[in-house]
Structures are given as structure tokens and as C-alpha cells.
Amino acid sequence: MVKKVLFAASEVYPFAKTGGLADVAHALPRALKNLYDVTVVMPLYRSIDREKHGIVSLGESWNITMGGVEYPIDLYGCNVEGYEYYFIYSPLLCDREFLYGTPESGYKDNDLRFALFSYAITALLKKKHYDVLHLNDWQCALAALLIHKDPMLSPKVIYTIHNLAYQGIFDATILETIGIDRTYFTMGSLEFYGRVNFMKAGIAYADEVTTVSPTYAREILTNEFGWGLEGFLHFHHAKLSGIINGIDMEHFSPTEDGALIAPYSEAKGKKANKSDLLKKLKLKGVNKPLCVFIGRFTHQKGIDLLIEALPKIADLECNIVLLGEGEEKYHKALELLCANHKNIHLTFGYDESFSHQVYAAADFLLMPSLFEPCGLNQMIAFSYGALPIVHRVGGLVDTVKRLETYQEDSCSGYGLTFNTPTSRALLGAVKKGCELFEDKKYFERIINHNMRCDFSWGESAIAYSVLYEKEREIHG
Ligand code: GLC
């Protein structure tokens, strides 16, 4: 019987967040709480407010030896509403301005930093017993290898890929520095085109490999979405599956959202929130559709398409709100667009409460992602009654049903979708949205339908528990 689970991630909301991983690492352990005793472990970055979260030293310190050098580690912890968190502190890992560096360039020693995090996870397993270790993304993938080569450790290891575009690829010389034998520098293990690939450790040595939607689990076996790992994933496909993410429906609930001027439970309640936001952002026209983009300004999220389509979208009778941050080149292009169009508002940065206000005000959420392992924003949009307009890829295929197939009695969320990632296709879908918006009654019916759907973690948490409990298999 599985009882104790250690869930490891490099970012966890509300402590530190750069993307959806942090939301999953927040919500999934909570959803598993009724089934298991789950502890979450992450690095104690300098940016984490220890006082605010009640994070204290647990009085446990140990030295980790990597490649003949000793690195001191301190264990910290806190308990939030009955949920237990551990934090690994080491100056090398934690004392930086950012988590990983800037979007343009990661810190040069990320290999060493996150190898140390993986060693620390392994050290924790030696001090405390866990039946299952659930690892996420490349930053803790090496822990799967460290466990594999340690006869004293035998937890079941689950490895979840949130985004195959980030694999943790480094120069092969790092192997010696992190104390990993050259015998692991093979195609079946860490080697990747003459370099070292941390994610390969997770895929090769975990008992089960998951990714965050069934469609993405199939896509990553192809050239187009495999980022060079498609062959390796094919080899391990017997232990690969896709489990769709959910959202924390309590956190994303417009009926009880303290960030909103007027909480609401159906489409017509959005209007007060919309007027308030438009006023705040000095935009005019509460009866015009409001299209929003919320997320990272990166290639993955389809920002190139969006930038190309925006002048034409802005020519439609609508308002546009953009919220996020990312690559400098996109910041410049977006600023220029914003300066030239009175109906576009741009906010850099990420403010959780403000983002809730934007969802509450929005009529449409644009997600032109080129690839999308799962995507969470479309589900948040459903819950706040904004209609998603998405490129049909990855998790967006699994979560956003085509409006053309709408059925009143279904429990799926519906939105507008387009098949090719071009600015023309995006513009076409937005135009369709604006026409639909004119049919007030029908539009409200769809919004109300979407708002009633359930996007919580319930079923997905059960799917993970099935993997936690599954008998171990020897995969070829
Ligand atoms: C990454 C993916 C996103 C996914 C999230 C959580 O940020 O890009 O699609 O929803 O991880 O799994």
C-alpha cells in the first residue's frame, strides 16, 4: 500500500512561480491529500518570503558530496492549511535574483544547481521514508538516475514532463563535476548529441513517465513535437501516458473571488467587472467584445502570430488587454503596437489578483500556442466565463471542444478553435468570435454552460493514484 508521497518540483505556487508547473505543483498534491500523505519539496529561492509563509529551519543540515566537493544543505519547512512543504536551502541553488535566469539566457551553472537539488531530494529519501517519489520536469530529473544507482533506495518513481521544450541540456564536462560516472554517457542514458540531457534521466529511470495531456503524449512521439527525443520516448513508450491537468476550482472561482469588485456566478454578472477593468485601463466601450491574452510572451505561446494579427484584430470593433512577460524582443514589438492602437492595453509582469480581474472582464481568451503540453488558462477562462479562442494542439485539443459540436447536456467546455498556426487563422477565429458576440442570447448560453463545467483535479488525481499503486513492471 502506498502511503507516503514526496512530490518534487522546482517551482510551487504561492512560493515561486514562472509558469504552469507552479500551479500544478500547488494543486495536484492538494487533490491527492485524501488518498496519501503528500510532502512537497522545492528550493528555498531568495525571492521566497519566509516570514509571510511561516517558513522555518527544521534544524536539519547535511553535506552533499558531488564530484569530490562538499555542498552544505539546510532543510526548511512550513505547513499551510495542513499541507506540508519542505524547502532545500543551499547558497549555490538559492541565492539568485531569478529562479533559472532570464528567458533569453539561463544561469551558466544551472546544471550544477539542479544536480544539487536532485541530490538533495535523494538525501531526503534516505532520512525519511517515502513509497512514491513524483518528479517534475528536467530540474529534478537526475534524481531518478541517482535512485536507480543507489541500492539503498527503492521508492517508486513517477516522472512528469510539463514541457518537452526545456530538457536541461548541458556540456558533457559537467558529469565529472556532479559525480556521475561516464558509463552513463550513452544513448540509452544521458547522452544527447554529444551533450548531457537531464530529462533523459527521468525518462530512462522512472517507473512511469507521464505528460500533462493525452494528445501531447501522442504528439511528443513525432518529429514535429519531439524536440529530438521522439525516438527515445518511442523506446520507452510502454511506460508513457498522458494525464490532463486540472485547476484549483476554489482558487479560480468567480463566485467567491476576493480580487473581483463584483463576484458572479453567471454570464450577466461579468458586466460590472468588465466596466470596472475598462475604466481602470482607460479603455472605452463596455458593449464591445474584450479579447485578452494572459501568459508568457514566448514563441511557444504563439506571440509571433499574435503580434502579426494584432493590428487587424485592433481594427475590429473590440478592446484588447495583454498581460504577461517574456522575451525582450516581444516586449518591444508589443509596446509599439500598443502605442499605435488606442484599444490595446499592455501590462508587463504578473499579478495574480489583476489576472483574475482580467479573466472576469474578458469575453475572449486568445491562446494561439504553437505547442501546448496542457495549458491551464483555457480552463480558468471557462470558469470565469471567457470564451477561449485556441490553436488546436496538445492539451488544448483535449480541453476545448469545438463550438460547432456544442451539446447542451455535455460536461465539456466549448470554444473557438483553428487548425493551422497562422495569423490569418487566428484573425479568422477572432472575427467569428466577434460575430458570435452579437448574438447575445446564444453567447450567454455558451458562457453559462462553460461556467458550470468541472475542471477540477478529481479524475486526474485518481489517474495519478492508479500509477502510484500500479505493480512495478520491467520495461524494455
Ligand atoms: C508548462 C506547459 C503548459 C502546462 C504547464 C503545467 O508550463 O507549457 O502547457 O499546462 O506546464 O503542466
Q: Indicate if ligand 1 lies below 6 Å from the C-beta of 21.
A: yes
**Can you spell out the DSSP letters for 364-382?**
EEEE--S--SS-SHHHHHH
| Residue 186 falls inside a structural domain | yes
Task: Evaluate whether residue 251 is within a structural domain.
Answer: no
Q: Ligand 1 test: best mutation among 136, 212, 379, most atoms within 8 Å of CB?
A: 212
Centroid of ligand 1 to alpha carbon of 212 (angstroms)? 7
370 Cβ closer than 6 Å to some ligand 1 atom: no
Please report where in the chains the cell 518529429 appears, as a residue: 223
42's grid cell: 522545492
Retrieve residue 151's grid coordinates: 541500492
CB 369 within 8 A of CB 393: yes
Identify whether residues 294 and 432 lie together within a single domain.
yes
| Residue of 369, 211, 347, 227 lying closest to 298 (CA atoms) | 369
C-alpha 280 – ligand 1 centre gap (Å): 30
What does the chain come to in residues? Answer: 476
What are the grid coordinates assigned to 465, written together? 493514484
In a domain, 154, yes or no: yes
Q: Please tell me whether residue 260 adopts helix, strand or coil conformation.
A: coil
Mutate to test the pocket of ligand 1, among 7, 135, 163 (most ligand atoms within 8 A of CB): 163
376 in contact with ligand 1, CB cutoff 6 A: yes
CA dihedral 12→390→269→271, nearest 10 degrees, is: 110
Q: Which atom of ligand 1 is closest in space to residue 245's alpha carbon?
A: 12
Residues 291 and 157 occupy one common structural domain: no
Cβ atoms of 86 and 5 within 8 Å: the answer is: no
Same domain, 298 and 372: yes
Same domain, 316 and 438: yes
Query: Does 359 share its domain with 430?
Result: yes
Does any domain span residue 262? no
Q: For residues 144 and 203, what is the distance between their CA atoms, to the nearest angstrom?
A: 8
In a domain, 252, yes or no: no
Torsion (CA) 186, 189, 192, 194 in degrees, nearest 10: -30
Residues 31/456, Cβ–Cβ less than 8 Å: yes
Counting from 1 in the atom list of ligand 1, the atom nearest the Cα of 165 is 8
Q: Give kind and range of the element (H or E) at residue 113.
A: helix 110-127
Does ligand 1 have an atom closer than 6 angstroms to the CB of 161? no
Radius of gyration, CA atoms only, the chain: 23
Q: Is residue 255 part of a domain?
A: no
Q: Are residues 398 and 309 in the same domain?
A: yes
Q: Say if CB 346 and CB 283 are below 8 A apart.
A: no
Q: What is the pLDDT of residue 476?
A: 44
Q: What is the pLDDT along the chain (476 residues), one digit of tens a residue?
A: 879 999 999 999 999 999 999 999 999 999 999 999 999 999 999 999 999 999 999 999 999 999 999 999 999 999 999 999 999 999 999 999 999 998 778 999 999 999 999 999 999 999 999 999 999 999 999 999 999 999 999 999 999 999 999 999 999 999 999 999 999 999 999 999 999 999 999 999 999 999 999 999 999 999 999 999 999 999 999 999 999 999 999 999 999 999 999 999 999 999 999 999 999 999 999 999 999 999 999 999 999 999 999 999 999 999 999 999 999 999 999 999 999 999 999 999 988 999 999 999 999 999 999 999 999 999 999 999 999 999 999 999 999 999 999 999 999 999 999 999 999 999 999 999 999 999 999 999 999 999 999 999 999 999 999 999 998 765 54
- Which residues in 16-101 belong to E strands, given as ranges? 37-43, 56-66, 69-80, 83-89
Q: Among 311, 462, 451, 307, which residue's Cα sits nearest to residue 381?
A: 451
DSSP-derived secondary structure letter, 471? P
103 and 192 together in one domain:
yes
> What was the pLDDT predicted at 313?
98
Q: Assign residue 95 the CATH number of its domain.
A: 3.40.50.2000
- Closest ligand 1 atom to 395 CA: 9
User: How much of the chain is helix, strand and coil, in % rounded to 5?
Assistant: 40, 20, 40
pLDDT value at residue 471: 85
The CA–CA distances, whole Å, from 456 to 138, 346, 435 equal 26, 30, 31
**Confidence (pLDDT) at 56:** 98
CA neighbor of 95 nearest in space, from 81, 82, 109: 109
- Residue 464 and residue 395 in one domain: no
Inside any domain, residue 36? yes
Same domain, 24 and 172: yes
- Does residue 293 share a domain with residue 339? yes
Same domain membership, residue 438 and residue 465: no
How many structural domains compose the chain?
2
**Are 186 and 273 within one domain?**
no
Residue 439 CA to ligand 1 center (angstroms) comes to: 34
Query: Which residue among 252, 374, 380, 393 has the greatest number of ligand 1 atoms within 8 angstroms of its CB, and so is best to mutate?
Result: 374
Q: Is 451 left (phi over 0), alpha (psi -120 to 50) or beta?
A: alpha
Could you tell me if the CB of 296 is within 6 A of ligand 1? no
Q: Find the domain containing 409 and state its range.
A: 267-452
Establish if 254 belongs to a structural domain. no
| Cell (9 digits) for 439 | 448574438
